[in-house]
Chains A and B, each alone.
Chain A
Amino acid sequence: AQSVSQHNHHVILSEAASLELGCNYSYGGTVNLFWYVQYPGQHLQLLLKYFSGDPLVKGIKGFEAEFIKSKFSFNLRKPSVQWSDTAEYFCAVNAGAAGNKLTFGGGTRVLVKP
């Protein structure tokens, strides 16, 4: 069965700092990978997704993620965070076939201090 782990539960940083959130998954076959974000009081929304092609994926609000197949990783990055990036971030995976279940990691709470 597929599983997802996020290494950091809480991250606190200052504005303009760089952010990197780790995500590792366990599944030996083809996978689809996602990062979702939940801003305070809002519903979960998609930041970016990877299905195939260029392993460096760019998403909304300046976020990007890199799929490294050999490391089973899909880390999220942003070079310079803003206070508005304060949110909870979730990595998710489904095995690479239509109709398969989406599995989430435990989430990382990010607090950006102004």
Chain B
Amino acid sequence: GAGVSQSPSNKVTEKGKDVELRCDPISGHTALYWYRQSLGQGLEFLIYFQGNSAPDKSGLPSDRFSAERTGGSVSTLTIQRTQQEDSAVYLCASSPFSYDTEAFFGQGTRLTVV
């Protein structure tokens, strides 16, 4: 498909385990974002990749969170030693490097830490 693809769509994990969330952006999009959406908390920015520039990690809530983007395409968000407060929907979005266009979102990964 032509949209942003995220996997898995749902993930249940035990507290203390590590998880990896994957995002396949739209082909050719240079910008890639990760956001977290918690109940009643709106959209929380996590990290932003733009081309070959150093990523903007200013939104990562703790050092348990990390993300990488390989080959300027696929991105993986890793959460180590998960905590219950990490439970949320993790959204990925991508956009072209141009002035007048918007970001396109995936369906998200619903993470539940039990």
Contacts of B43-98 to chain A: CB distance below 8 A = 43, 45, 48, 50-51, 53, 56, 91, 93, 95, 97-98
Contact A49 B102 (CB under 8 A): yes
Contact B45 A104 (CB under 8 A): yes
Contact B105 A102 (CB under 8 A): no
User: How far apart sit A112 and B95, CA to CA, in the bound complex (Å)?
Assistant: 31
Inter-chain contact count A-B, CB under 8 Å? 51
A106 to chain B, nearest CB (A): 4
- Quick one: CB contact mask for A62-87 with B, threshold 8 Å, 1 for yes? 00000000000000000000000000
User: Given A98-B98, A99-B51, are A44 and B91 also a contact pair (CB < 8 Å)?
Assistant: yes
User: How far apart sit A49 and B42, CA to CA, in the bound complex (Å)?
Assistant: 19
Contact A90 B97 (CB under 8 A): no
The interface residues of chain B lying within 8 Å CB-to-CB of A90 are 42-43
B interface, how many residues as a size bin? 20 to 34
Contact B31 A99 (CB under 8 A): yes
Contact B100 A107 (CB under 8 A): no
Which residue in B40, B97, B102 is a CB contact (below 8 Å) of A34? B102
A18 to chain B, nearest CB (A): 24
Asked if A56 lies at the interface with its beta carbon under 8 angstroms from chain B, I say no
User: How far apart sit A104 and B98, CA to CA, in the bound complex (Å)?
Assistant: 19
Contact A46 B43 (CB under 8 A): no
B58 to chain A, nearest CB (A): 8
- Give the A interface residue count (CB, 8 A): 22
The interface residues of chain A lying within 8 Å CB-to-CB of B98 are 98
18 inter-chain pairs at a CB distance below 8 angstroms, sorted by A residue, are A32-B99, A43-B91, A43-B108, A44-B93, A51-B99, A51-B100, A97-B99, A98-B99, A99-B51, A99-B97, A101-B45, A101-B48, A102-B33, A102-B103, A103-B45, A105-B42, A106-B42, A107-B42
User: How far apart sit A103 and B58, CA to CA, in the bound complex (Å)?
Assistant: 12
User: How far apart sit A90 and B99, CA to CA, in the bound complex (Å)?
Assistant: 20
The interface residues of chain A lying within 8 Å CB-to-CB of B95 are 102
The interface residues of chain A lying within 8 Å CB-to-CB of B97 are 98-99
Given contacts A98-B98, A101-B56, A106-B42, 13 further A-B contacts (CB under 8 A): A43-B108, A44-B91, A99-B30, A99-B31, A99-B53, A99-B97, A102-B95, A102-B103, A103-B45, A104-B42, A105-B42, A107-B42, A107-B43
